[in-house]
Amino acid sequence: MTRRETGAKIDYDTIARRYDTFRKGGGPYLPLLVALAQAHAAQRVLEVGAGTGNNTVLFQKAYPEASLITCDLSWGMIERAREKQTPGAWVQADAHFLPFAAESVDFCFGCFMLHYISDLRAFFRGCARVLRRGCAAFVTASHEFIERHPMNCYFPSFAAVDKARFPSLETVRDALHDAGFRNVSDRHIQTTPQPIDEAYLRRVENQFISTYALLPEDEFKTGLARLREDIKSKGRLETGLVWESVTIWGEKDTP
């Protein structure tokens, strides 16, 4: 089960500081991740694709008894996380080849990183190998949410770009099952509508999600100009952004 890696053109080492400025951690999914870790009495926790550590900080605040191990492929992201004195033992690692001992952690999670995994079955087998017990949980976006996203009105390729790289929920479920996880479950969580205003425009201008960096350059410039004009004339768009995430997880039997 392989997928085309569309994120390869983005140099995360170079954009780490800008990324950290316009991307904040946390979200409605965080309490569920903490609850899953607590339900499995997790003592050692691995975060995969931790980026600049924004979710790492919030997770530890909510679950301070955990000993955190964090990994990311980008050294620039890790350096930025260390500059902020982000907790955790930071390791530069490719998620496809997790360099951790077998049965060394109790809980494994990652937030919006599955779309960078080219072989989900192999990745989940790696997660199962390093788990002693507990579960692996991952936050992602559904194709339905991508199709409903209000930025589709400004960037015609928006949904096509993200649907080509974000795996469907069915694909994730099947890969977890095939890797040996049981009780595979998922939960959709929505926020209340958030305004699409000047603050949101600044984030789009700085390509706060990688989707914008993957759009054709002319399309991004044209769509951004339209968005800027609409927000300038109205103050905010009439339609807000209802942000939706999906947390999907599976359990590993205790040996």
- Angle among Cα 176, 209, 27 to the nearest 5 degrees reads 65
In angstroms, the CA 99 to CA 120 distance is: 17
Confirm if 158 and 151 have CB atoms less than 8 A apart. yes
Q: Which amino acid is at 99?
A: P
How confident is the model over 75-93, as a mean pLDDT? 93
Residue 7: its pLDDT value, please? 41
For the chain, domains (ranges, CATH) are 6-251 (3.40.50.150)
The number of residues in the chain equals 255
Residue 215 CB neighbour total at 10 angstroms: 21
**Backbone phi and psi for residue 88, each to the nearest 5 degrees, phi listed first:** 110, 155
Does an H or E element contain 145, and which? helix 143-148
Helix 120-130, helix 169-178: angle, nearest 10? 50
Proportion of the chain above pLDDT 70, given as a percent: 96
Position 4 pLDDT exceeds 50: no
Question: Which pTM does this prediction carry?
Answer: 0.91
Q: Give the model confidence (pLDDT) of 111-156 as tens digits.
A: 999 999 999 999 999 999 999 989 999 999 999 999 999 999 999 9
Q: Which amino acid is at 38?
A: Q
What region does 48 belong to: left with phi over 0, alpha with psi -120 to 50, or beta?
Answer: beta
Confidence of residue 104 (pLDDT cuts 50, 70, 90): very high
Q: Give the model confidence (pLDDT) of 35-64 as tens digits.
A: 999 999 999 999 999 999 999 999 999 999
**193, exposed or middle or buried, with CB in 10 Å at 0-12, 13-18, 19+?**
exposed
How do strand 182-190 and strand 244-251 relate by DSSP bridges? antiparallel
How confident is the model over 61-74, as a mean pLDDT? 95
How do strand 244-251 and strand 131-140 relate by DSSP bridges? antiparallel
Position 93 pLDDT exceeds 50: yes
How confident is the model over 173-178, as a mean pLDDT? 97
Position 28 pLDDT exceeds 60: yes
In angstroms, the CA 166 to CA 37 distance is: 25
Confidence of residue 255 (pLDDT cuts 50, 70, 90): low
Rounded to the nearest integer, the mean pLDDT of the chain is 92
If we measure between CA atoms, which residue out of 248, 240, 204 comes closest to residue 223?
204
Residue 26: its pLDDT value, please? 76
